[in-house]
Amino acid sequence: MLRKTAIVTGASSGIGRETALLFARNGYNVVLAEHTSSTKEVEEEIRLLGVEVLSAPFDLEDESKIKSFFDTAFKNFEYIDCIINCAGIALKQKLFIDVTSEEIDRILNVNLRGNMLACREGLKHLTSQKHGSIVNVSSILGETGGSFESVYSTSKGGIIALTKSLAVEFAPFGIRINAVAPGFVETNMTAGLDEEARNDCISQIPLSRLGQPCDIASLIYFLTQDGASYITGQCIGVNGGALRFD
């Protein structure tokens, strides 16, 4: 039986790391996108699970590296079942009028343009298979917006629009494309919260806790499976019942 392979970007930590490990635990080979943070530790954990793992250079701000990454992945594995786009960045919260043009360019280039290019390059290969799925990671702020997070919210809202558009465009090729929108999750992006800010966030969450990377990874995994075969073009929130964070 042909072993399926999952491509995961942003796999060195947080949601991407947990997602890569979950696929490996379920018998998938995994291709990891390696940028500034090493994926060596994740690779070692995955190998212990008895599946193949490959790390390749990747940079959402470098179109040539994005293309090379996907070419390498599809060259090395016979069958790629899914692509999980977790990679992204955030800046410190700022009043919008204080955000520099350079900061705007960086967020949009990485979170939106970079992930658009990743989808494009991945789809070039998936269309020849006539099968596969993509899951993009957006954010609750992409749905609701957030004070002092205007640029980040815009980039993540764009991911939702991209997902919905591509889902319609590539459904005839047998490809499903969905997004997940995490709320506040225990990752490097939230590690800097002081106790007051953390408690304020939790107070707005009906389930009274921050999310864990595994909460998001579980939904991502489901969306790639046969049980989700009639789900495409959706952005599904994973936020503990919260509607917004301001």
Give the residue numbers annotated as catalytic, written as ranges.
152
- Alpha carbon of residue 236 to chain centroid: 13
Residue 137 CA to residue 55 CA, distance in Å, equals 20
Token match 């990891």: residue? 32
Residue 110 DSSP one-character state: I
CB atoms near residue 241 (< 10 Å): 11
Cβ burial, residue 101 (10 Å; 0-12/13-18/19+) = exposed
The set of residues, in sequence order, having a beta carbon less than 8 Å from that of 56 and lying 6+ positions away, is 31, 32, 33, 34, 68, 69, 72, 73
Residue 149 CA to residue 236 CA, distance in Å, equals 21
- Alpha carbon of residue 77 to chain centroid: 21
